[in-house]
Structure 1
Amino acid sequence: MVIWIILLAMTAAAVMAVLWPLSRHYAVTRQADPDTRFYREQIAEIERDQARGVLMPSEAEAAKAEAGRRLLRATGLHGEAYAAVGEPALRRRRAASTLALSIIPILALATYEIYGSPQALTQAPAAQIAQQAGNVDFMTAVAQIESHLAKNPQDGRGWEVIAPVYIRMGRMDDAVRAYQAAVRYQPPDADRFANLGEVMVMAKDGLVSAEAQAAFEQAVKLDASSPKARFYLARAAVQDGQVDKAKAAYAQLLASSPPDAPWVEAVKQELAALDVPAGQGGENRIGPEAIAGMVAGLASRLEAQGGTAEEWARLMRSYAVLGQRDKAMAAARRAREALAQDSAALKTIDTMAQELKLTDAQP
């Protein structure tokens, strides 16, 4: 608000600087009348002649009196004439001033709105500079780490540092490769394997692939209490159709966790999705019926209209996530029939079947 007041004051000052010379007083006082100027100069000349002794004092007084009378007559006549002429001009000048003071700022604001950057006033310049500098510094740091790792590919710690950065940037495939390198070039560690498995799940839209499950199993071997690995292994059991095993794993994880552990709520939601009461946390979930309905809609569309290899693979994965392995294997067989003439598509289906561990559905 302050900036707009300052700008308005500056605009008004600029307009008045232009309009002030047009004011009535300023113009009238500077109008040159030939008659009055002549008589004033005549009086001054008489005074100079008297000072030089050219005129006697009595003669000078008489001459000045006559010049003074003529000056008064000239002044009175032209004062009335100036008043008569000045009033309409004054009204015009006042109208021009009013229009200028109102229209000029409005036009300036409209032009600024169209061609300027009014949104720049909503954020302090220092904040903008800091944000831009932060973005530049962040990207510069990432580039420097990547350059270092290109020259030192066996720096496991460097790969572990940049992996979460890739996740933040949405570069999931790069994050998977970074965690794989971190595991490869550093001593075995449960958290490291659990992080590798988790980013694999994220890259597969929630699917616990065979590779991810292997990473979680390795984490549990190194630390049987690893909550992240135990959580995802229970989800893998659901995908494999082993619902009872998954329920037991979730219940054990919930029982061994502190009440305020950050993963407790997620465990409760998973149990609720399996129709197992687990206290608070299950009332805000999307019900299994809704999820099953969406999957059924996808299956119906693919059966009626066909689809791409990626859509068939998504259907297989959805059935696996719901723990319906038989339907996942049936979808794999149906996909191979529909895509029999496309070798690349068949490869996509085979790869998904391997990730889902659908061995019975292999050709």
Structure 2
Amino acid sequence: MDGSIGIWLAIAAMTCAAVFAVLIPLSRRTAGGADARDVAVYKDQLAEVDRDAAAGLIGPAEAEAARIEVSRRLIAAAERAGAAGTSGEGTSRRRRIAAVAAIIVVPAVAALTYGLRGQPGYPAQPLAERQRAAPQQGDLATLIGRIEAHLAANPEDGRGWEVVAPVYLRMGRLPDAVRAYSNAMRLLGVTADRQADLAEAQTIAAGGVVSAEAKAGFERALALGPGHPKAGYFLGLAAEQDGKPEEAKAQWTRMIGEAPADAPWLGLLRSEIARLGGTPPAAVAAPAPAATPGAAQIRAMVDGLAQRLAADGSDFDSWLRLVRSYVVLGEGDKAREAAASARRLFAAEPEKIARLDSLVNELGIGGS
């Protein structure tokens, strides 16, 4: 019993502290300046998350969760700052109402809610653990909707475009991802990372094929940031697609030789060299490597393209992309199966069959 009383006394004390924390800001004349400062702080936090992710201090999952959480706060602060700028008559009355709510309503509702649903024995969930947890799909959709509304009203917010671009990419909204990356680079300036991210989105949108435009983007990224791993990897992939496997192997071998021993993408490069029949440089003792996000995304997009064509195979050009993508991934049998499926579907259209045969011969995957 004494322990229960102690808990409630502690809750009462915290409630009082919370009420006064609310009342003190309400007594001030304006909060617009504070909200504007919050916007700046959250933008700095997003930049810090990107720096930590690039430096390998946090993993991709942790970085994505942190970006979503900070973006949520950034949008809320921006909306508050905008509302503060348009507030006029009635502000004092609203403050008084808020003060009454803080003194009477908030503690009453809190006590009632805790009495009905509170669980003192429920284990704590620290902030770091919550940030590691993947956001619910509904929450993500809501967040994306708010970001899109914000960007519709503020199309020159380069940071907003940069925040939403990788989310579009992971959602499979590829044209939107390309547009967002393009806007971010246009508004925030050209960097190696932004140039490589845009070119990567263009490649994934093409079913894993490095187009001439994407290749030029990767070359610019490498010029801006010598040794940039994403740009280097995709330039090797472009060389392979151009029928130059030796050039691709040389590119990836050079990257391995110049990379730190614990670079997380070394395993991918070694497997790619081996796939082309080469002998990758010997590995040194290092943590287990992981595939680059670009490679994982290409794999996911090729699988998604195959599933879409299985449901609706009417898009002939998508069949060509699928055949080429399977060859890029080193899956010749699947490429031949895809070509055979396309041939059956479009047997009555000789012009398309001719294009398909030309691609099969170009890729050297034989008859289907």
**Shorter-chain TM-score: what band?**
0.3 to 0.5
**TM-score after normalising by structure 2:** 0.44
- Which has the higher Rg, Structure 1 or Structure 2? 1
Scaled by the length of structure 1, what TM-score is found? 0.45
